[in-house]
Chains A and B, each alone.
Chain A
């Protein structure tokens, strides 16, 4: 069994592109929330989202032809390129077959599918463009990463919705532990799209302008987008090449509610925390910080807080939700959570929950690190991800010892 470490980070987000901007965004509590520009949102009562208007794929990518890939694939590949540069990986690798990619997503190439829908509405099925049809399959997200970086190892896209990045990190961790790869790019990507905006609105889960997790008056999510990538490698491989090590991946857990497609399940979420902690070989009292799923809906935050209480008892560590800053970036969300967690461990701070104004008396045990980042020693941290379909996935990171 190999130990697995994080050596590179690649955030492409609404609060910063690249690790320096993103770290600065977390520390200063920046918000990505802004009026939607990627589609005409004028007919929607709520028209804010956490987009990445500064994303210029052609400025970040070296090998991919931008017009051959959908927006989510470009997010994934750009994030991976940034992570590889941050890690100082020399590419192509000496043995490209020992380097792979795992990418998580909720809606895959949603904007490509929306283009197909528009073509269908305008001219019927035969009007759908063959090029868009070729770009639509979700596996193209990990293939974009592999093609951009010249990786010949396993390349797989996990479509387990909003916890998919944690699935990806967990699977990559296993492959590295087991010696099946030396380096893995792991993370997630999704794009803001009209149908998800409509769906969340009609579920009553969409807030108007500001996402305020764990606040008494929280009223829902903001849809968001972006790409999150981490370079994971075996400790020996990192040491042999003299890499800077941010943190260690200690383990992860996944389980399924088997209860309801949309509503979270407290008992199952708590069980997933216990699975992840057991897999990582840590106890609740070892954990200094939780990066929560923290969507900002009344139901999620209550369920998550109760599950935390059930697992941590009277010793609940500080928690925060970076969705307050980024919006809900769907399949990328727990990837951004992993990056934020890793940065907190490396630099000694807790990212804040912004837009927080009033404590919720029903969540009295929750310290959401309100509004301002906080200096702290973080030895072990837990990164929560939950999803439609009851797909829970939690990763655990620790300071390198």
Chain B
């Protein structure tokens, strides 16, 4: 079965719309935002592809927001925008049929390491602030988003780093197909902190980026009003560490077969990193390759979610592209692969 993408909430260094996101990806040069005075701790670079001017109190109010970490706050804002954009107002009739599925890497690495650090540097190892303890669990963002918007349906957090959004999409398709829920907020979020900045720097994955991208997915049911922005036709995943890029090629073939899409009909493919030859065995040379990372940095679990945003931006600007299938793909350094087929 398929799902309808009926709303989006996208925040990135490029701005707060898929149009700006697409423009940045097209330009292909890293979006530099001044981060030098954002933290007391030193950073590897004074500029980074981080979200500028994110004011959680302005966006979410003062109540209940003072202890939120940045990843959680970003996810909550993106979820709210996706709900609003999709025209879904949670109420007592529908809230148990609406849920949240978010991708992650390690949750908020900063929240966890700050909490852990207190056990080392305080006079007593237990002198941590218990109010901050929930921020150390990786389902913090999805749990807080559910509280904020009153969503009692399926609520899950799916780890997968660069593939997390595609895993979340597949998890969501299953929950919709099985009829557990009627609508899901599905996305990926990563915060920019000294922890992620240095982690990316030290592992050669840098520069670290920052983004929150969440989509409202609905079951295609009669009576739904409003044109969807796109459809998700299929998601395939696998674990093939020994096969190199061939593993991804096979995964793409499986996703296309499930979606009943012929490979020559694929019009665009979006991912973290792609070059003109990527997937050339299976996809036409003319298919556009859209890479998120050169402009937005390493956004880990938000990477795939940004890739969907880029495709939505393309569909919106180009009427000739409507109805043509596109792919979102990813491969992790451990050898996991995933591919999603969408159609705008």
Contact = CB atoms under 8 A, between A and B. Distances in A.
A268 B138 CA distance: 21
Contacts of A193: 116
B155 A157 contact: no
A390 B153 CA distance: 11
A138 B120 contact: no
B137 A389 contact: yes
Contacts of A200: 133
Given A147-B241, A152-B240, A199-B115, A254 B154 contact: yes
A136 interface: yes
A339 interface: no
A391 B130 contact: no
B173 to A, nearest CB: 11
Interface string B196-233: 00110011100000000000000000000000000000
Nearest to A262: B134
Contacts of B109: 113, 136
Nearest to B236: A154
A390 B146 contact: yes
A387 interface: yes
A108 B241 contact: no
A167 B128 CA distance: 30
A140 B125 contact: no
Interface in A223-280: 254-262, 268, 271
Q: How large is the interface on A (under 10, 10 to 19, 20 to 34, 35 or more residues)?
A: 35 or more
Contact of B115 (A101, A195, A255, A271): A195
B153 A255 contact: yes
A118 B113 CA distance: 9
A152 B158 CA distance: 19
A198 interface: yes
B133 A156 contact: no
Interface of B: 41-42, 95-96, 99-100, 104-107, 109, 112-113, 115-121, 124-130, 133-134, 136-140, 142-144, 146-147, 149-161, 163-164, 167, 170-171, 174, 177-178, 180, 194-195, 198-199, 202-204, 237-241, 332-336
26 contacts: A45-B126, A118-B120, A128-B198, A128-B202, A134-B203, A137-B159, A138-B105, A139-B336, A143-B334, A146-B239, A152-B240, A155-B238, A159-B104, A159-B158, A174-B178, A194-B119, A195-B112, A199-B136, A254-B180, A255-B155, A256-B100, A256-B152, A258-B150, A261-B140, A261-B143, A388-B137
Interface of A: 43-45, 97, 100-101, 105-110, 113-114, 116-118, 120-121, 124-126, 128-130, 133-134, 136-141, 143, 146-147, 151-161, 167, 171, 174-175, 178, 193-203, 254-262, 268, 271, 387-391
Given A107-B138, A195-B128, A202-B130, 5 more contacts: A146-B336, A155-B239, A258-B95, A271-B96, A388-B137
